[in-house]
Amino acid sequence: MFMNVKSPFDKTEAPLVVVLTTPIGGVEFGYQVGGVSAGPHLVVAGHGPIADLVFERIIALPTIGWIKGTLSLISLDALEQPGLAFNLGNLIDPKPDEIHFLPYQLDNAFHTASAARGYWSTLRLCCRLGMISGRRARAGVAAKTTEGQ
């Protein structure tokens, strides 16, 4: 598994979470959630520890199984194998409606803040696409903007 986050939560045992692997070699490159209800397909892609933190939080949501459509979480680090990035379109089904890239931050001091921004931006996009109701996503945005004033 590419996730480095230490947690008692086991992603492979979560309901409606599919571990995405390459057909040759079985290399994990992401997760797919949902697909039970009709809706859009959102691909969220990111590098390293920030993507790990965001994916961990999204998969741990208790209502993630209620998502409309499909949410694919892709590790760009895993795609750095020769030829795998070019073959990604054939590995993800259904074809994505939207692609969302998470923030990238080299400085470890900013990983947690970048992961929080990536998490909330992903939830807001899911809300805009009609995949989730987004009550907390909208509330989180409002609380954040009023704090900064």
Question: In DSSP terms, which residues pair with 72 in a beta bridge?
Answer: 32, 43
Whole-model pTM: value is 0.77
| CA 49/CA 55 separation, integer angstroms | 10
Considering only CA atoms, which of 96, 101, 142, 132 is closest in space to residue 118?
Answer: 101
Task: Average pLDDT across each block of 10 residues of the chain; the chain has 149 residues. List them in order.
Answer: 42 71 80 87 92 91 87 85 62 83 88 94 93 70 43
Secondary structure class of 127 (helix, strand, coil) = helix
